[in-house]
């Protein structure tokens, strides 16, 4: 999805609305609260134009990964001060901690690679995003 | 005594036993926790020569395990309301730590006591606690 928000909490709200609208999440308030709690403790903007907002919450029934982009960039208070153009949101139920940690670890490893970031920035559809992840996961 | 910024240095998954005391210490001192994992090329090469595994596979596995450790700390820290930032770096441990002390104005280092971390006790310019 292409995002309109320009600031991190507004971006999280927009992602939450998207997830509720698509019935990916059940409880709007619960999901937003969990993601905002994590975000307020320390930014999930990891630099190089990437943000990975994430939380464990029973507002979702299964592990969820949402990919979004912002051409203008979102201020995630990233460590390098740069706006985030690629946003991966990860949410999982409380009882799926292991899968949640593994998903975050795999994604973080992939996103440290500049070619992967560039490919994701230029991907033209969701299928292409999945292919980029799969290809680089091997 | 105040420690606004504490660095927790992680070597491998046996360090999990020090996560809780490290987080509780940060909670007590209301400190910001910097969690650091360093990918050391020479250690990876050494491992590759011993196991005959491809160097890229080892690198990938170690990096992923490192991220898992980082996110495990973060998960527990968030539950305890401790401000935490995660850091994955390439390089030599002592050099990376020295850079962190300067760039982030770290006041205290927490590490698990072991053979590989002895050099940090010796070379650090700030207090180091071995847990």
| Number of independent structural domains in chain B | 1
Interface touch B84/A102, C-beta < 8 Å: no
CB < 8 Å to A37, chain B? 78
- Across-strand partners of A36? none
Across all residues in chain B, what is the average pLDDT? 91
| Separation of alpha carbons B1 and B29, rounded Å | 9
- Could you tell me the residue ranges of all domains in chain A? 8-137
| Separation of alpha carbons B130 and B123, rounded Å | 14
Query: What's the fold here for domain A8-137?
Result: Mannitol-specific EII; Chain A (3.40.930)
pLDDT value, residue A138: 66
Q: Which domain holds residue B28?
A: 5-130
Give pLDDT < 50 ranges for chain A: none
Specify the CATH number for the domain of residue B102. Answer: 3.40.50.620
Nearest to B78 among A41, A101, A105 (CB): A41
Q: How many helices (H) and strands (E) does chain A have?
A: 5, 5
Residue B54 has pLDDT above 80, yes or no: yes
Question: What's the number of CA atoms in the CB half-sphere (13 Å) around residue A90?
Answer: 18
Nearest to A109 among B67, B72, B82 (CB): B67
pLDDT value, residue B49: 86
Does A56 contact B at CB distance below 8 Å? yes
pLDDT value, residue A49: 93
A23-36 pLDDT, tens digit per residue, is 999 999 999 999 99
């Amino acid at each position: 999805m292409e995002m309109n928000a320009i600031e991190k909490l507004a971006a999280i709200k927009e992602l939450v609305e998207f997830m509720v609208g698509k019935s990916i999440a059940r409880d709007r308030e619960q999901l937003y609260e969990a993601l905002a709690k994590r975000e307020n403790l320390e930014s999930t903007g990891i630099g190089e134009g990437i943000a990975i907002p994430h939380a464990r919450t029973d507002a979702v029934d299964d592990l969820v990964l949402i990919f979004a982009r912002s051409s203008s960039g979102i201020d995630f208070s990233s460590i390098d001060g740069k706006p985030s153009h690629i946003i991966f949101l990860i949410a999982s139920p409380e009882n799926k901690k292991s899968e949640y940690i593994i998903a975050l670890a795999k994604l973080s490893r992939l996103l440290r690679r500049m070619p992967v970031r560039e490919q994701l920035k230029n991907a033209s559809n969701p299928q292409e995003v999945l292919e980029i992840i799969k290809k680089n996961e091997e | 005594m105040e420690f606004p910024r504490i660095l927790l240095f992680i070597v491998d998954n046996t360090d999990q036993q020090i996560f809780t005391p490290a987080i509780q210490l940060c909670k007590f001192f209301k400190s910001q926790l910097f969690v650091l994992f360093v990918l050391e090329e020479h250690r990876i090469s050494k491992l590759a020569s011993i196991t005959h595994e491809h160097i890229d596979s080892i690198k990938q596995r170690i990096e992923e395990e490192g991220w898992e450790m980082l996110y495990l700390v973060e998960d527990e820290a968030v539950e305890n309301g401790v401000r935490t930032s995660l850091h994955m770096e390439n390089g030599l441990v002592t050099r990376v730590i020295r850079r962190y002390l300067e760039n982030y104005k770290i006041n205290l280092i927490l590490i698990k006591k072991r053979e590989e971390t002895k050099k940090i006790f010796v070379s650090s310019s700030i207090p180091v606690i071995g847990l």
